[in-house]
Structure formats: structure tokens, C-alpha cells
Structure 1
Amino acid sequence: MSDVHLQLSKVHRHFGEGETLVRVLEAANLTVRGGELVAIVAPSGAGKSTLLHISGLLERPQAGEVTITGVATSKLSERGRTLLRRNTIGYVYQFHHLLPEFSALENVTMPQLIAGRDQTAANRRSMRLLEILGVAPRAQHRPAELSGGEQQRVAIARAAANNPRIILADEPTGNLDPATSEVVFEALAGLIREEGVAALIATHNFDLARRANRIVTLRNGLIEDTTL
């Protein structure tokens, strides 16, 4: 493994107050290194999405530190957090959210053009990612012409388009059948190895989670390494 890309240190996140207080994270610690895929497996409502949101700088913890590629974020301004998030983190959701009027290639290229990369370099990067994920032959097809698994692999390529150091995925295979889920998960794992990205993935699929480098769960506000 390479260097640490994501680190949570004694992170606290509570909701409500008094009798309605819910302690989702309580002095939670987590480290994810480059090239490492960590799966979060926990019951619904345990705080998986909250953990992803805090890791992705979409929410602030009440206490503790979130360090992204060596940058401590607790004292960053909102603009500083936005810039760091934009430059270092890619997101994959349960639904692909591809733009329907654009081809697979265009969906992956667009974030790069917005970031200032020229068209030729962006197309080259997009095709490389689509090749890694096994959907390069479908590059000119629009989302409606792709299968569910193909759509999700294009969404993963889009998340990786701007060379993030961290990929966060919330149930990325949740809408797919078991066989397709395996294909998509293996494609994602291959991309993580190829690009040296740190990945944190929330999933209910125990069989897929076992293929991660590590499995963690949320219990009593703590992040615990576990085996299934």
C-alpha cells in the first residue's frame, strides 16, 4: 500500500439533543491508503451514509479531524473544503445519474472539460477509464442504450475522470442483479488498483464486501475492523 489518502481521527457526529440525541459517530477512527478498497457493512440507520458524507467533506463533524491527502480539514473555510473535495474526491451513487442526452464518452469527458483539461486529453483519459472498466466498445452509446451494469461502470469512470485520490461509493451495486453486481464490483476494484486510489464503499452485499481489502462496521459510534 502507498500513503494514507483518508484519515478520520476521533470523529464525533451527533444528531438531535436531549432525549432525542443520536450518537452516530463517537471518537471514530479510520485510515484508508492508496490502492486500498475498504467496505463498510452495517445495518440500515447505523450511519454508513453519514460516514461517507463526513469523509467526503459534505458534512462537518462536531469534533475530531478529517485529513484528506495530508490536509487537515477541520479549520478549512467552506471554499477550501469545496476546492479540496472537487480536486481529490470522486463519488459513485446507487443510481448512475448519467446525463441522458450525452454518450458514455461525453459523460466521462465533461467533468474534465469543466476542470480545464483540453478536449483531446480529456477524451484520451475517458477512453482509458472506459477500457479499464470494460465498456470502451460502448463509448458512443447514450445511457438509455446501455445495460444497468454498463451505466454504473460509466458512472464509476466519471467519478475517476479528474484523477481523484479518494473514491466514495454508496451502495454502488444496490440496483443491480447479483451477477451484474459482481462484474461492476470487480471493475471498480480493478480501477482502484490501476489508479492507486483509496476507496471507501458502503454495501449491504456481504459476498462483495469479502472481496475488499478490509471490512469495517459501525458499532456504538465506533468504526471497527471486522471479518465476515
Structure 2
Amino acid sequence: MSTVLEIQNVSVSYGKVPALKNISLQVNQGEIVALLGVNGAGKSTTLRTISGLIRPKCGSIHYNGEPIHKRNAHEIVKKGLIHVPEGRRVFSTMTVEENLQLGSYCARDHLHDGLKEVYELFPRLFDRRKQLSGTLSGGEQQMLAMGRAMMGKPKLLLLDEPSMGLAPIIVRTIFDTIKKINETGTTILLVEQNARAALRLTKRAYVMELGEIVREDETENLIQDKVIEKIYLGG
């Protein structure tokens, strides 16, 4: 199994405040890997560093064997590494379809097929395609944020808290879709507060605390661990 993403000894600081402390992780082709931790653990910072929005203080990040830790975010997107940030961040004064079209700016030849694929993944977006994105529900905006990312033909998808603030029935839809996206061959690194739901999707996960990775293990071992259950799974 080939390695798609490899992070080695990466540290990040916000001013003088350390945010990531010498973290290392890897994601292999075709996997969904979860990154778990409480608020403030460093999960979102990790994704922002991978996608080029934050420059690491030290360490290296390799994507398909190529170093990307000194690349700008727009260069990384062109390579098929696409980040769906926390909070959805759709363009509220643009229609659903206009938002999706923006997502294909690095894959213009994929525009027609991309729209078709996104509407098959998210039929509700087809129904809302002429609607202003700011008038969508939270769940529909999350579908749009993920759909916009898919328009760029990602090889590696970084998902940051896709279920945050959503009703349970919508959360199930979102997680079912994440599984479908992975089944098409897209590798996924998933940050998710709903640890139990995340672990149901994955075979392997990392646990973060205070900017450090404190554990990496198979999902079934994490689920059976009493400490993990108490802290992260609501046990």
C-alpha cells in the first residue's frame, strides 16, 4: 500500500505559543484515517498546515513522495490535495451551482462531469442549484462545501468537522457520503468531534492532545480502550 501523505516531526507556533509539537503521521492510499482530540488539541491546525495555509516551523510534509511544506496553498490544491475547512465557508451571495463551479478552477475540463457527480452524491444540491447558498440549511451548506471540494477531483481530501452543528439525521447522510467518496478511490483524513461516528468509518486513527499525537492505533483497539471510551466516546 503506497503512502499518500507523510508528516515527519512537524512543529507549528502561533507567535511564541506552540500549537503542534513534533507530530508525525501517515495516510496510505485508499484509507480513511481519523484524527481525534478535544477542542484545542491541534487537529484543525494540522489540516491547515498540510494544505499550506500555515507554514511549519520545522519538520516535513510529503504528498505522494513530494515535499509540500514550503508550497503555497494554491499550488497544493492543484496537486489534488483539497481541504474542506471547519465552518463550511460557502460564498453566501452566490448560487449553489456558482459555488460548485468555483471548486473546479483547477479542473476546468472536469466541470460538466464534476457537476453530474456532485449532484448524484448530493441530490438535494441539484434541487437547490439556483438558490443562494446563504439561504441553505447548515446541512445543505456542508453538502455544498464537500461538493465544491469534489469538483477539484481530489486524490486526498482533508475534512474538518463535517458533522459540526448538524442534526443527527443529516450527520448520517454526511457520513454515508464520506464513505461513498472513499469508495470511489479518494483517500481521506478526517477530523471529527463525533469520535464514535468517525471510528465507524475508519480502520486506523490518531489521537491528539495539546498539539501532540499521543496515540496511533487500529480502530477496534481504540474502541475497546476504556480511557479512550471515557474521554472521547462518551463512555
**TM-score of the aligned structures, taking structure 2 as reference length:** 0.79
Report the counterpart of residue 99 of structure 1 in structure 2.
91
SS at match of 2:27: strand
Higher alpha-carbon deviation: 86-95 or 210-219: 86-95
Residue 59 of structure 1: CA displacement?
1.5
Identity %: 24
The yes-or-no answer on 1:215 pairing with 2:205 is yes
* Equivalent residue in structure 2 for 1:198, among 174, 187, 190: 187
CA drift of 1:139 comes to 5.1
- Contact residue 125 and residue 140 of structure 2 kept, 8 A: no
What is residue 30 of structure 1 aligned with on the other side? 25
Mapped contact 2:38–2:209 kept (Cα < 8 A): no
For residues 169 and 154 of structure 2, the distance between their equivalents in structure 1, rounded to whole angstroms, comes to 28
Q: Which one of the candidate residues 37, 43, 60 is aligned to 1:65?
A: 60
Q: Does 1:85 align with 2:90?
A: no
Q: Given that residues 42 and 209 in structure 2 are in contact (C-alpha distance below 8 angstroms), is that contact kept between their aligned partners in structure 1? A: no
Q: C-alpha displacement at 1:110, in angstroms? A: 2.5
For residues 94 and 176 of structure 1, the distance between their equivalents in structure 2, rounded to whole angstroms, comes to 13
Unpaired stretches in structure 1, ≥5 consecutive residues: none
Partner in structure 2 of residue 225 of structure 1 = 216
C-alpha displacement at 1:34, in angstroms?
Answer: 2.8
**Pairs aligned (count):** 216
Name the SS for the 1:135 alignment partner: helix
| 163 and 103 in structure 1: CA distance in 2 versus 1, 3 angstrom threshold | same
What per-residue deviation string (whole Å, max 9, x for no partner) do you get for residues 160-206 of structure 1?
21112221122111021122112112212211221x22222211112
For the residue of structure 2 that corresponds to 1:9, the secondary structure is: strand
Root-mean-square deviation over aligned CA pairs: 2.5
Matched residue SS, 2:205:
strand
- Cα 1:108–1:132 change in 2 (3 A) is same
Contact kept? 2:103, 2:150, Cα under 8 Å: no
Larger relative contact order (C-alpha < 8 A, sep ≥ 6)?
1
1:133 Cα deviation (Å)? 3.4
User: Do structure 1's residue 172 and structure 2's residue 171 form an aligned pair?
Assistant: no
The answer on whether the counterparts of 2:91 and 2:134 sit within 8 Å (CA) in structure 1 is no
Compared CA separation, residues 98 and 25, structure 1 to 2 (3 A): closer
Structure 2 unmatched ranges of 5 or more: 224-235
